[in-house]
Structure 1
Amino acid sequence: MKYTEKISNKLNELLEKNYDAEKGYINSSENVESTKLKIFFKNRASERSQFAKDLRTEILSYGQIPEDDGSIKGAMHRNWMSLKSLFSANDEKAILEEALRGEKASLEEYKEILKEDSFAPSTQKMLEEQEQKIQAAINTLMVEEELS
């Protein structure tokens, strides 16, 4: 099976966004004092790195060329988060809010792409598993936000 250009582009968009999320989580881990949050953000960065590797492999296996880096929008978002953390004196609540916002946007993107019915079963399963992990991260972020 070879994916259409439309499907390949959508998978590449997810790939870029996972690169962005990984970098955003690394940035977040560097801007919080809480050891618990540092570990959480580093774990999410590692998870998103794995998502990207899985997506790259899937894209390659269907004869397409994967993207190599994040998006311009993602770089702007990370820069904004860095600036925000400077002005808020590494305000963990603000960083949590921004991470939550980013994860909710990711979840919506996964829900949208999963509406497509032209994926191979392996791709469908991978995307559903990633979607579930994003939902779990959202749940954790919401609890952490309430506690902060």
Structure 2
Amino acid sequence: MKNSPENVAYLNKLLTLNFNTEKAFINLSENIESESVSKFLRLISNDRAQFIKALDSAIRNEGGIPEYPQVSTPLMVGYGLNEILKSIKSSHDDVFTFTEIGKIQMIDIERYQAVINKLDLSDELEHTLKIQKENLVMTLYAINVYKDSCLRNKVAV
């Protein structure tokens, strides 16, 4: 591994990203009226918990120390996510909510791809990150299915 300290730094950024997003999704699932959206948020927050465990292990395997963020509120997640989460909380439109969750997933997919492209990773670590990124992509597909379902239900009413 040529850039092990650099790898650890980027892995810690992904750890922080997933930690904050998981906490934000849990908080949002507890404070949203729509039961279907709440269940979906709990499901994808569970995915993030699994990502965190894998990243923690990867950081340790690289000889680093996982750096978990100090979170004063569940919404302190950076990169404009506060605004997205606040708009979701104030909305009663499931289609809008799923669209906004999709934006979060897209931002995270881009961040994963940037790390994969930038670093000299072991095959195992690259595989782990690609699987996590693919999981985010699959969630994005699921979001589109939920949105289509919501739209069909609106038309049927």
Please give the TM-score of this superposition, normalised by the length of structure 2. Answer: 0.79
The equivalent of 1:74 in structure 2 is 77
Match of 1:144 among 143, 146, 149: 146
Q: Tell me how many residue pairs correspond in the alignment.
A: 147
Structural mapping, 1:1-148, within 5 Å: 1=1, 3-69=3-69, 74=77, 77=80, 79-88=82-91, 90-116=92-118, 118-148=120-150
Deviation by residue 1:106-129 (Cα, 9 ceiling, x = unmatched): 111111111135111221111011
Uncovered stretches (5+) of structure 2, i.e. residues with no partner: 151-157
| Separation in structure 2 between the aligned mates of residue 119 and residue 76 of structure 1, nearest angstrom | 25
SS of residue paired to 2:77: helix
SS of residue paired to 1:74: coil
Q: CA RMSD in A?
A: 2.5
| Separation in structure 2 between the aligned mates of residue 70 and residue 101 of structure 1, nearest angstrom | 24
SS of residue paired to 2:11: helix
Deviation by residue 1:56-80 (Cα, 9 ceiling, x = unmatched): 1110111112111278861585543
Uncovered stretches (5+) of structure 1, i.e. residues with no partner: none
Q: Is the radius of gyration larger for structure 1 or structure 2?
A: 2
| Separation in structure 1 between the aligned mates of residue 116 and residue 85 of structure 2, nearest angstrom | 32
| Structure 1 residues 2 and 58, CA gap change in structure 2 (3 angstroms) | farther
Identical pairs, percent? 24
| Separation in structure 2 between the aligned mates of residue 131 and residue 68 of structure 1, nearest angstrom | 20
| Structure 1 residues 16 and 112, CA gap change in structure 2 (3 angstroms) | same
| Structure 1 residues 141 and 26, CA gap change in structure 2 (3 angstroms) | same
Q: Which moved more, 1:32-41 or 1:112-121?
A: 32-41
| Structure 1 residues 78 and 106, CA gap change in structure 2 (3 angstroms) | closer
Kindly indicate whether the alpha-carbon contact (under 8 Å) linking 2:113 and 2:133 is maintained by their aligned counterparts in 1: yes
Please give the TM-score of this superposition, normalised by the length of structure 1. Answer: 0.83
| Separation in structure 2 between the aligned mates of residue 12 and residue 67 of structure 1, nearest angstrom | 6
The one-letter amino acid paired with 1:145 is K
SS of residue paired to 2:128: helix
